[in-house]
Every structure is written in C-alpha cells, then in structure tokens.
Amino acid sequence: MSISHTLLGLLEAGPRHGYDLKRAFDARFGQDRPLHYGQVYSTMSRLLKNGLVEVDGIEAGGGPERKRYAITDAGVTDVEDWLATPEKPEPYLQSVLYTKVVLALLTGRNADSLLDMQRAEHLRLMRGLTRRKATGDLADQLICDHALFHLEADLRWLDLTAARLDRLASEIHT
C-alpha cells in the first residue's frame, strides 16, 4: 500500500493534523496494521518537501505545535495519476512455499507433512477471516474476501503440489 498516496487522498477532504490523518487512516485501512505516528509525520515531511502538501496552519497546544496539512494541486494530480495506474499483478512465480517444498525434497525431509501443516495454517486463517467477515461492515467484508480468495488459490496450489510430489521429487533428483 502506498501510505503517502493514501494520506494525500485523505487530505483531499480538507486540511488535517497528523493525528487526525492517523485516525482516519487507521479507521479505513489500518485495522490489521495501524500506522505509527512517526510514520505519519515522516511521510508528511517528505510530502511537504516534495510540494505535494503545504502547512495550512500551526496551532499551539499543551505540547508541541500542531501543523495542519493541506494537499496542493500537485498532490491532487499525484493522487489522480496513482489512482489511474493499474497495480502490477503479483504472479508469485518464486514463492516461499515452493522453495520450502523443493528444499524438503532435496534434503530428504517430508514434503507431504510440510504441505499438510501449511494447509492447516491456511484453513485456520480462513476460519478467522470468515468469522471477521460475518461481523464486519462492508469494507471489512471486502478486505476479508480479497484475502480469502488468495488463500483459496494457495490451497488449490497446495493440493496440486501434493498430487505431484512424487513426480517433482524424481525431477529434482535427476
């Protein structure tokens, strides 16, 4: 995820302080991985340096001064360009799972049990996501669906690999 573009997009609704940006980010996108305050402020500093945001005001408080940031025209253009650029699909051509299966076979370890353990871990995560999806709002449901579809694809790969283990073992040992 592009944190800088996400923060810029949140600023399009109007100027905000770093604290408000963090809260808005966490509410919409950070349920599983909330932003750290340091990450917000370092990102805002970089966006300020690059001319994508400007300081819209400074307020004195009980602690440090609070800067209110506003997106610039260049920032709006940057968000528009980012939204108009398709994300590169991840082909997973060299996955960690594949590497573990091949190394298990090369070293004489049990690749079947490795696949079984991985299948159990995928199913455990899928059960948790399914529970979360059942109680979540639409945004949470969509996020869970995305993860579930990827995990289902992994499960299909695990089953296919298990069915082909003997053949794979003979090919890598030749």
Using an 8 Å Cβ cutoff, are 114 and 101 in contact? Answer: yes
Using an 8 Å Cβ cutoff, are 10 and 21 in contact? Answer: yes
Using an 8 Å Cβ cutoff, are 70 and 57 in contact? Answer: no
Q: Read off the pTM.
A: 0.73
pLDDT per position as a tens digit, 22-70: 999 998 888 788 899 999 999 999 999 999 999 998 887 667 778 999 9
Cβ neighbours, 10 Å, residue 13: 9
pLDDT per position as a tens digit, 79-114: 999 998 888 877 776 688 898 999 999 988 999 999
**Residue 67: which H helix or E strand, with range?**
strand 66-71
pLDDT per position as a tens digit, 109-140: 999 999 999 999 999 999 999 999 999 999 99
d(CA 36, CA 26): 10
Structure tokens, 118: 């991985």
